[in-house]
Chains A and B, each alone.
Chain A
Amino acid sequence: MSSMNLRLGRTLIYTLLIGFALIYLAPLYVMLVTSLKDIEEIRSGNLIALPEHINFSAWVKAWNSACTGSECEGLAPYFWNSVRIVIPAVLISTIIGACNGYVLAQWQFKGSNMLFGALLFGCFIPFQVILLPMAKLLAWLGLANTVVGLVGVHVVYGITFTTLFFRNYYVAIPNELVRAARLDGAGFFAIFWRIFLPMSTPIFVVTVIWQFTQIWNDFLFGVVYSGPGTQPITVALNNLVNTSVGGKEYNVDMAAAIIAALPTLLVYLVAGKYFVRGLTAGAVKG
């Protein structure tokens, strides 16, 4: 009886889990099959039907010959622009976040809690609000429409989340550790370097995944603060799919969308395991 129940329970669990997995996959599936069909088949056919002939030409076109303006070089050049923006922005914001989190959790000073609270509120600003004053500030710094400026903007608005992640991770580590190390004569950075960094891998993974996803998918900052020739892939994708005149090539649109999402998908695939592990280790302690 009990094993019957158990088996029934297991079946129910699997049915639900797989059912949800199918629902979650549906949009990606639609995108994928559409990208492999030719345009005639898309017009006449069924949304979820498999393609009659698998056709990769839409992918090739999206990568290197679709028009994104007066140039028709596909997403390829913009892909590398994005890489050049994302890597420094993720690294810098993560490192600053780690240092901040270390201070806020282990080296509290008068007002450090207030500072943390203020920072938390900051991450709620709708980004549309800061577009114009930020443009002014960047111009004043001589960084208007440069890659450096854009990276800077991503860093500034990424710090709130990275700091939050690291702070919540480090706050779980007993203060005694720092005190003991100081008695042994270790300084601020030595303790960070030798004790905290080595145990931070999980939270680094969480932070890097989060920041990578945010910055890679950003459109608003990318379109406003980049210069000509340095626009990120989301801007190119937007140009590619937003056709004002005729002949929408849905297969190319979908292939382009998947290409633009590949790096983040890859990050989730490869590092997804560590993501939950990192969250377990403390990011969610609130």
Chain B
Amino acid sequence: MFKYLENQLPKLVMAPTAIAMFVCMYGFIAWTVGLSFTKSRMMPQWDFVGLMQYEKLFANPRWMVALDNLWIFTFLFIVISLFIGLMLAIFLDRNVRAEGALRTIYLYPMAISFVVTGTAWKWILNPGLGIEKLVRDLGFTDFEFRWLVDQDMAIYTIVIAAVWQSSGFVMAMFLAGLRGIDDNLIKAAQIDGASTTRTYWHIILPMMKPVFFGAIVVLSHIAIKSFDLVQALTGGGPGYASDLPANFMYTFAFNRAQMGVGAASAVIMLCGVLAILVPYLYSELRSDKQ
């Protein structure tokens, strides 16, 4: 009997997590999927109306803008964060002085919530107050930097702020990866006459593959959940040009009394997550079996 319990211990330890997960994640996802088929307006109401909310959703020009923005935002955010993060990590790893201080500076944006950093960013990006004014005051009177107030460019200011917030974390991940590489490997390559650039490009970067993968998962997770950023920086504006799906969903579910549409948009977002995550999970579980 005792032996049996002992054998079941791992499962027992996992049980509370498993229960919490099935109720609070999958149960709630199911609830949301169900809600997306109802005519719920201000509060959940269980009168089913089929796909009506999805039809409304995709007929809504604001949703289409939010969806387009998500692709632009996610792609640029991930690529730029990876690039900057990797670059900073490689340079930091080359025995620079004050590494600790620099590292902390790159990391700190993760620590601050956007509720007010948003205001600072708004000022910096505002043409009348921030960068444009400063450069013009320096004598370059033709200088223009007005993405924040430009309907076609506002989404890129969200990318800038998001990269600022997250690239430090990517830097830390890459730095950790670089530190994990055996120094002898690099020395050996250099003895063979490989240049520094070649060493990085052909030997070190390929070894960073799992870091790339992990970073992409963390970044896409941040991208899909991005909400505060838009709220604080542009409020979705000008117009609704910089809206993202998370903001759309929140607005419709809670402030527009169109909960069904909000639920439908959440379901579409989750489908998107599934598309990103399935390849990751596949490789994750496959590598375990080896």
Contact = CB atoms under 8 A, between A and B. Distances in A.
A and B in contact, CB less than 8 Å: yes
Interface of A: 13-14, 16-18, 20-21, 23-28, 30-31, 34, 46-48, 96, 99-100, 102-104, 107, 109, 112-113, 115-134, 137, 156-157, 159-160, 163, 171, 187-189, 213, 217, 219, 234, 237-238, 241, 250, 253-254, 256-257, 260-261, 264-265, 267-269, 272-273, 275-281, 283-286
A49 to B, nearest CB: 10
Given A17-B96, A47-B130, A121-B274, A268 B110 contact: yes
A219 B270 contact: no
A118 B26 contact: yes
Interface residues of B, number: 91
A130 B134 CA distance: 44
Contacts, number: 247
Contact of B281 (A14, A23, A100, A120): A120
A141 to B, nearest CB: 11
A269 B120 CA distance: 22
Interface in B178-237: 179-180, 210-211, 213-215, 217, 221, 224-225, 227-228
A262 to B, nearest CB: 9
Contacts of B18: 115
B29 A129 contact: yes
Report whether over half of chain B's contact residues are helix, strand or loop; otherwise say mixed: helix
A113 B113 contact: no
Given A265-B108, A284-B211, 16 more contacts: A26-B124, A117-B285, A118-B26, A125-B29, A129-B270, A132-B44, A134-B24, A137-B23, A188-B6, A241-B119, A257-B119, A261-B112, A261-B113, A275-B172, A280-B179, A283-B176
B61 interface: no
Contacts of B124: 26-27, 30, 47
A286 B210 contact: yes
A156 B253 contact: no
Nearest to A102: B13
B149 to A, nearest CB: 17
A187 B5 CA distance: 11
A99 B13 contact: yes
Contact of B269 (A17, A48, A109, A126): A126
A124 B164 CA distance: 21
A14 B88 CA distance: 11
A16 B277 contact: no
